[in-house]
Amino acid sequence: VPSGAAFALATLRPTIVFVIALDRPEQFEIASAFAFACGATGAESLFGPEREIWRFYFSEAGAAEDAVRIWRDRLGIDARIERLRPPADPLAAFRAAARPRPVGRSFWLAPGDVLEPAPGGRIALHLPASTAFGTGGHESTRLAIRRLEEEVLDGLRVLDLGSGSGVLALAASALGAGSVHALDLDADAVFEARRNLLRNPVAARGVHLLAGGLESLAGVYDLAVANMLFSELSPLLAGIGGRLAGTGRAVFSGLLAEQRREFVALCAEAGFAVDGEAGEGEWIAIAARRG
């Protein structure tokens, strides 16, 4: 039986559950070998009050049926197939009703299930609403994108800290960045971002995703963008500065207007000189350079 992370990944999307009641647990190993040979993608054990149950996961009905047949004919093991209902998707209704929106001068962000052609030469980014933040519905994302449009990104090495859906990494790449390293502490968000990279293959060129924090990085960057809450971003300022080249720049979003003064002071302490600002509603984004 696979264990640890590999096992968790293997069972991410089971469509069929295959349950066996093992009256003879000593047969588990051989039963398991047959199951994986037939295409099982994961397994788990459940200790019921009377007997031990092993559950195998398959993504195809035919593979599960093959395993059931082999078990019954060769091992005399009693088994049954159950179909798992996919988990309810709380955002399905939102996506069905969602309409794309223009963002900044260049982009057309589509948070629904379907991507229609973007009007007026805009760059379409298809980012269906998911548990990862960043469809363009929030001011902080839009402010960061608009601020990125003000920067000259051609060929730059960009760091996107707190990448969520990957929206800013895709935008930076589409605006000409040479490479974008996009990080998020939330591994689920990184999985969603990966799907979004596949949905937007042109913008995704040169984007590298990583689950982790600043400490996972060894590289040097020309520009960092981070859209995070004040409380999350403030302790990271010095670390971000330390990963920027001498002439490096930063775009900080996710800040409330009332936090401006304190944030600008923290930037100065961390060695940043603030040289730009934009706002939408109660939210602001700040642009800064090192030194």
Ligand X SMILES: C[S@@+](CC[C@H](N)C(=O)[O-])C[C@H]1O[C@@H](n2cnc3c(N)ncnc32)[C@H](O)[C@@H]1O
| Beta carbons within 8 Å of 9's beta carbon, 6+ residues apart | none
Q: Is the CB of 19 or the CB of 278 nearer to ligand X?
A: 278
Helix then strand then coil, in percent of the chain rounded to 5, is 35, 30, 35
At 116 the three-state DSSP class reads: coil
Site string for ligand X, 146-185 (x = CB under 6 A): ---------------xxxx--xx--------------xxx
Q: How many CA within 13 A on the CB side of residue 245?
A: 10
Q: Least CB distance from residue 166 to ligand X, whole Å? A: 8
What is the footprint of ligand X within residues 233-252 (CB under 6 A)? 236
- The count of chain residues that interact with ligand X, using the rule CB under 6 A, is 22
Residue 77 C-beta: closest distance to ligand X, Å: 44
For residue 2, state whether it binds ligand X (rule: CB under 6 A). Answer: no
Alpha carbons 100 and 137: distance in angstroms, whole number: 10
Select from 64, 43, 39 the least CA-distant residue to 54. 43
* Least Å from the CB of residue 211 to ligand X: 9
Q: Kind and range of the H or E element at 66?
A: helix 61-70
Q: Which of 52, 149, 186, 277 binds ligand X (CB under 6 A)?
A: 186
189 belongs to the binding site for ligand X (CB under 6 A): yes
Could you tell me the end-to-end alpha-carbon distance of the chain, in angstroms, rounded to an integer?
A: 54
Q: Which of 141/173 has CB closer to ligand X?
A: 141
User: Binding to ligand X by residue 197, rule CB under 6 A?
Assistant: no
- Give yes or no for residue 213 binding ligand X (CB under 6 A): yes
200 burial type by CB count under 10 A (0-12 exposed, 13-18 middle, 19+ buried): buried
User: Which tokens belong to 278?
Assistant: 């934009």
Under a CB-based contact definition with an 8 Å cutoff, are residues 229 and 254 in contact?
Answer: yes
Give the interface segment with ligand X, choosing from 47-55, 66-74, 110-118, 133-141 (CB under 6 A).
133-141
Task: Decide if residue 228 touches ligand X (CB under 6 A).
Answer: yes
Residue number with CB closer to ligand X (67 or 233):
233
| Location of structure tokens 């009050």 | 49
Binding of residue 133 to ligand X (CB under 6 A): yes
- Distance, CA of 159 to CA of 220 (rounded, Å): 9
Residue closer to ligand X by CB (options 40, 167) is 167
210 binds ligand X (CB under 6 A): no
Interface contacts to ligand X, rule CB under 6 A:
133-134, 140-141, 144, 161-164, 167-168, 183-186, 189, 213, 227-228, 232, 236, 254
